[in-house]
Structure 1
């Protein structure tokens, strides 16, 4: 699935884009000073900062990785900064976190790193990488559930679907960045920006009934597979935008579109969640690698691509018994990671951190507190005050390792109570 023909007219060859002839391996002292000063100024306040400040910071921090300063390079930086500002302003979690500036830095770096990863690959390898990744995501969903299609048939359907999706992503890119209707990426950095946007756009999660959500590209693939008539297919673009023009205005009055718009406004996934989720995946991969669990890393990679158990078995060459053993080992390491190694990050993503009573409603939380021993209650109070383990160890007259072990035990109790299990503080 390595022939994305739609890309051929978008920066179809790299000869028009001349990368730097000299690799800058060390940021000059002046650029380092500028980066440090800008970061300090930005992080010293949680008040909104203009996109220009973040643009300058990103330009200084990624100076050595960016192509020579040009109009297109600065335009890409400005669009990334503007998008970060927009996300932060719309995210309730970020606005109430008290760390708005820190979120801006994190989001800005995340977007820049994704863009630069495609820039390093170049137009051809970048297109192949993106096409392969999106193909894997939609492969299972591209045909009706009862259809018994072979690889070649599915391949052709995937190709047809993705050509339309690339056009949709380009239209969304123009719309969200308020670009001209005929805009197309021309330089290598612009193409990298568009490919990074397309990947992010494909992974956007749309809320569904029953508190479920699904990635946008999978919903698109399912609609493609069902061959819904054009007049009843979900037009997300018009549902998300206000009516523009007579035809769009008539369409926007449709009860279906109004329902979609209301649902998306009411239940849209917080943009901060995707950033936290990506960080969790990265941290979990690093944890598994440190534990020497390379097969678990492979399993996680395939699970993230939404592959079924038989498909994973076939790719990894597993028997049923081997898969069961791998799943048990994977579950063990994920639980250890979630309750011990990175409990704060995972609980933040689950909406179950200390400030939220570990995800328990009031009555359940009160029952949880009644089960704690005086020592456990004191440990919980110290953790709620954000005191580090070394200081807690001094106050409880034990070692930091013992503090960590006791806290993991307390989290296990909370985990079981929160999920409906019965437990006591001493079982």
Structure 2
């Protein structure tokens, strides 16, 4: 345990700006967890490589913690919220209720707020911290958010040799406990008026609606763009009657492994592979044709940033285009409509879209090549 503690402490000091005391506290808690897992796991004890397992677990816990630490408070919360929302989305759907997409998001928000408190209590209990403990530093917050993600994904054994993620079981219970839908008078909610005959749930619903109606805080631009992309892609798939692709998309948002996706959706490996290929087809069409501006802006690879290419690679990219494609690219940069571009380069608007698809696809390939390149002189 001391060896693992020293390893984690050294890494935290090197990778963060946290104080020595803060690094020691987090390293100690992570080392204790690794020691507990290795001690209690019969498979690890029988492996003959306990230290190898310990280092692997320590690195995994460390990288999860650093992931949220590097994202920062706001982006870390958004990332965690998106990950957990994607897991529970299909389970927050009370029976005999026709909830809209936005209404389900509100229910998910309510559910996750209570789940975060449950997770904090579990974190205090498992790390033997005081019941009043709350993460204060960015490193402590990163540690807690990493724990919350793992806590939600814990596999809980069920009868019949089955198991399920803890957060899904909690979501199913939450969904079953929801009362029938309540009709709320929008004008009355806006004015804040309540009548004596209103029950407690309706009063709470009206209060929450009123708070949302008068709220002034705006989403950060990055969060708003991400939400727009998810919403637009979901609507795009729904319009094409690809509901199973939407379910797959929600699970892929939090990077679940293939076997877990198969289990949740009730698919064989072959069926999941077919669904994955169909989703990729629609994703490519959406990314390169339907709403390419939105996606590229979100990924910060829009035309104003040379499609995310370094200067040398952008020059090489342009040199590989035909004269017609170079003209098309320039006109797109000038934000000309497709009908005007078609006249300028002597083709139909449909041909403009096809050529633009090829240009974006070519830039995407070069960008992927760039991200995997190890030669800094090419930048």
**TM-score between both structures, scaled by the size of structure 2:** 0.49
TM-score between both structures, scaled by the size of structure 1 = 0.43
